[in-house]
Amino acid sequence: MIPGARVAAAIEILDDIETLRRPASDALKDWGLGHRFAGSKDRSAIASLVFDALRKRASSAFLMDDGASRGIMLGALRLARGLSDETIEALFTGEGHTPAQLTSAERDRLKTGDLEGAPAHVAGDFPDWLEPALAAAFGDRLIAETAALAERAPLDLRVNTLKGERDKALARLARLHAAPTRFSPVGLRLPLTPDGRNPSLAGEPDYIRGRVEIQDEGSQLAALLCAASPGEQALDLCAGGGGKALALAAMMQNKGQIYASDDEGRRLAPIYARLARAGARNVQVRPPRKGEDFLADLEGRCDLVLIDAPCTGIGAWRRNPDAKWRIRPGALELRMAEQDQLLAEASRFLKPQGRIVYVTCSLLLDENEERVAAFLAGHAEFRPVPAQAMAERAGLPELSGFASTRGPGLRLSPASSGTDGFYVAMLERG
């Protein structure tokens, strides 16, 4: 497909996403099934265009004074890709399945449009109803923080220390321009390709053999802050696909026991193959059994309970930009109730002096500091571990600089730490 035809396809997919209000991944998959002539490179390039437009949806619509998919795509080509007027016009010829030629109004907006005077939700590319909650979290850094959440994300890898060392993985992945991550001692960062896509790992021996796993540096740091030691008993209460359970297994050197569970058994489906590939032998998967207390035998036995809590996912907007436009106010209340329930549930599994590590990929106070405060108010036997002590216990003292100013825990974000957005708090039973 020629570049202009890819742009036309991306506009068609954006229309589908808006009309049906469904995830971008579903719309992209259906488009690919209906257009089998498009090769893998075409589909990848089209997906990149779609995600760029979704990241910059509000600012692009403001720039072009047009909230339709075509206007958003035109704005994104300028704001996300930095294309010149001439380059953009060359994509819109109306020939060979390309979009129709630019109108005079569109040419004028490309030449003269800017974000001067744009409201905060436009400059930061987020839903306007979230502004009060985001302003409470970020204060005068609201636009800087949310604009960073609207940028592209690099591809981060965690080196599996059960199978090798970072220096060796760094050398083997040098041709992909791998570099050490800023904070994680087991992380590698791969830059985006020139067209904004992540490099493919499908054929990389290190990935196939489980020597590296895809995991954002922020997620790696959340696992490292658990300070899991060989021989401990740990429960990953919301294990999902197993990313943090795998990280804990490597930290514990396959010694002790990790119980990986999730209330929704289908989320655990990928974990089995990942555990085998990684050589993680101290992880016992505990899928839910309807009508049974399937974790009852773990009561009072665990040194560590990790809660990677379901949340609004605001910290992952760089990777899932469509999610921010689909989120609704009711979803926040639902997540807060789930988070309270998980914190209360976690306490029954701990030994005396055991610890809960509460993690979200949200940046809202409602889902983070306020949930921890609510739990502590009803559980006098717990105390929050100060951020500096958390960081030092994990051997990462530099992370103390990300201590929350609104309560216990640490806050990471694209603007502050260069990672996805995460909140991590440790609560210790006295």
> Tens of pLDDT along 91-143?
999 998 999 999 999 999 999 999 999 999 999 999 999 999 999 999 999 99
CA distances from 311 to 26, 322, 333 (A): 21, 15, 10
Which active-site residues does the annotation give?
361
Q: CB–CB of 149/421 below 8 Å?
A: yes
User: Which segments of 287-421 are extended strands (E)?
Assistant: 302-308, 350-360, 382-384, 410-412
Beta bridge mates, 411: 423
Residue 262 assigned to a binding site: yes
Helix (H) or strand (E) holding 180, with range, is: strand 179-180
Buried b (16+ CB within 10 A) or exposed e, 237-267: bbbbebbbbbbbbbbbeeebbbbbbbeeeeb
**pLDDT for 360:** 98
Cβ neighbours around 26 below 10 Å, total: 13
Task: State yes or no: pLDDT of 198 exceeds 90.
Answer: no
Least trusted range by pLDDT, from 191-195, 315-319, 330-334, 342-346: 191-195
Helix (H, G, I), strand (E, B) or coil at 233: strand
Q: What are the tokens at 322? A: 């469509």
| Average pLDDT of the chain to the nearest whole number | 95
- Give first-to-last CA distance, the chain, whole Å: 63
Q: What are the tokens at 27? A: 């719309």
Q: What is the mean pLDDT of residues 366-384?
A: 97
Q: What are the tokens at 414? A: 């694209």
Instruction: Let me know the angle formed at the C-alpha of 336 by 310 and 239, rounded to the nearest 5 degrees.
Output: 20
Task: State yes or no: pLDDT of 202 exceeds 90.
Answer: no
Percentage above 70 pLDDT, the chain: 100
Q: Could you give the domains of the chain?
A: 3-114 (no CATH), 155-214 (3.30.70.1170), 218-429 (3.40.50.150)
User: Which segments of 291-379 are extended strands (E)?
Assistant: 302-308, 350-360
Residue 308 assigned to a binding site: yes
Task: State yes or no: pLDDT of 194 exceeds 80.
Answer: no
**pLDDT for 290:** 86
Q: What is the mean pLDDT of residues 228-250?
A: 97
